[in-house]
Structure 1
Amino acid sequence: MQDAASPAPIESALLNEATGNTIRHGYFTRAGGVSEGIYRGLNVGLGSSDERGNVMENRRRVAAWFGLPLERLATVHQVHSPDVVTIGADYDGARPEADAMVSATPGVVLGVLAADCGPILFADPDNRVIGAAHAGWKGALTGVLENTVAAMEALGAQRGNILACLGPSISQASYEVGPEFVERFVAENPDYQRFFAPSATPGHAMFDLPALTIERLRQAGVRAESLGLCTYPDSERFFSYRRTTHRKEPDYGRQISAISIREI
């Protein structure tokens, strides 16, 4: 394995402003990993065909950025669902099928993977409850964001105290969809037509997944922001499923966004 510099994740001004030293978070890029070739950098995707040793070393580096061992990095088997799991002190490394996690336990890192879908990190700094969600179009439409907020409340969070930030994800300028896609959203809510703009391809549209994500977070009663970073054009910093597909590459890596409550 070729060594590289330590990871240097992007941080949210909103989360930093309110959480201070009680909660730490980071939206990790490709920087600081050991993977090579099409997976170059910090690929943490166990579902990729990258060498497993590289993936595990990259994951170890993410955990180490939080000052914790690899065994305390919690991730799930993401399936584009609205399902949320609670991570406690008894976390044993299991990866159940789900797309979000919540915790009130210090010393564990919640991490969600993405390569165009939206990674959202949540925090209620007053009550020391955190969450992390993976929201592609399906998860956003079927309620993974709202379910994450509800699961945080079950751990003692107060909805009005919850902050949420959407990390690097595909933007409207790079997300072309077909007419059946638009119909599915408009059938759910006619107002969702506003998240689609005309495409250069007849009958197609450009979908604004980040805008939908932020809208649903705010409607859920939390204070939300977006980093405003698109994964598709920025191949130096981000993996992108859609870019990989357009380039006809055989596989792609995944970046991670993670959050943890500091131990006192």
Structure 2
Amino acid sequence: MQPSVASSVIFVLLILSILHVNSISSLSSCRSQCGATAIKYPFGIDDGCGAPHYRKMLNCSGDLFFQTPSGNYKVKSIDYDKETMVIYDPSMSTCTMLQPHHDFILSEIQSVVTPPTSDSIFVLLNCSIDSPILNHYSSLCFNFSGHSCDELYSACPSFRIFHLGYNATTAGYPPCCFTGYNTVKYMSMNILDCSHYTTVYNTDGLKGIGPLDWAYGIKMSYSVPNSGCERCQRSGGTCGYDTETEMMLCICSSFNNSTRDCGK
């Protein structure tokens, strides 16, 4: 090999080596905190950290947010023992605040790995009498913990306006529906023909508790992939993945990353 060719090859290899070290260096700084919320596996707020299934789901911009196709939802808490996360929609109506409705949409992978729990109830409000949930799909509606739609309309200041605007010749309150996530997953708010919605979680423990004191938000469940992360953590490493192949990496402070641990 001629000197000029050899030097060119060496130069290229040097550049590739620098780029490789820089990419590893960026992976070695996985943040473990966002505000007051701890960030642990399988979640990560830096690309390449956590499990690839949860890639770019969380965003730390002052507060911690859960990113979905329908918007960003503030993360209220993450319970790593129970493997649940509670999110809150800042644009959602509550018992004391009425806001324009919009759909709650999860990506395909989010619907699988972070679905809402069974004790998270979606409350569809001010529904038309032609709404499918009052006709062909009426079985999708149910009461929970002894509560009813009429109680919600009468107890919540923000929802009383629906009663005032309801047809004066019709007694009572406009229809509403307590339902599960699958209803809003497969039918948009326009199809459901309900003007607003709210969500409540921990509904199993709300018997005898009025709507003003309900826990508003959505509780999501998640699962921790069995990828050998514990072995990596025991060796002092941080669990992550290759951003190109999404194969697991054990990110070590010495930059000597491994697929298993930070040992020998």
Which has more radius of gyration? 2
Q: TM-score, normalised by structure 1?
A: 0.29
Q: TM-score, normalised by structure 2?
A: 0.29
